[in-house]
Amino acid sequence: MKFINYLKSIQDVRVYPLVSLIIFTAIFLVVLMYAFKASKNYIDQAKQIPLNDEK
């Protein structure tokens, strides 16, 4: 049986992609606002954090 047949059997399946798009967009906008509102000092301090501390 093809995958599309499973999707046709689910009631209101068209709602799920819309809900996931709304959640993704909301999270993306929150992270974008956080990035633009972060202080310059915090950004400079975060740049100095080493990504790998192995020696």
Place 1 in a pLDDT band, splitting at 50, 70 and 90. Answer: low
Task: Please tell me the predicted confidence (pLDDT) of residue 24.
Answer: 98
> pLDDT tens digits for 24-53?
999 999 999 999 999 999 989 989 988 876
Contact, 27 vs 21, CB < 8 A? no
Task: Please tell me the predicted confidence (pLDDT) of residue 32.
Answer: 96
How far apart are the C-alpha atoms of 29 and 45, rounded to whole Å?
23
For the cut 80, the answer to whether the pLDDT of residue 4 exceeds it is no
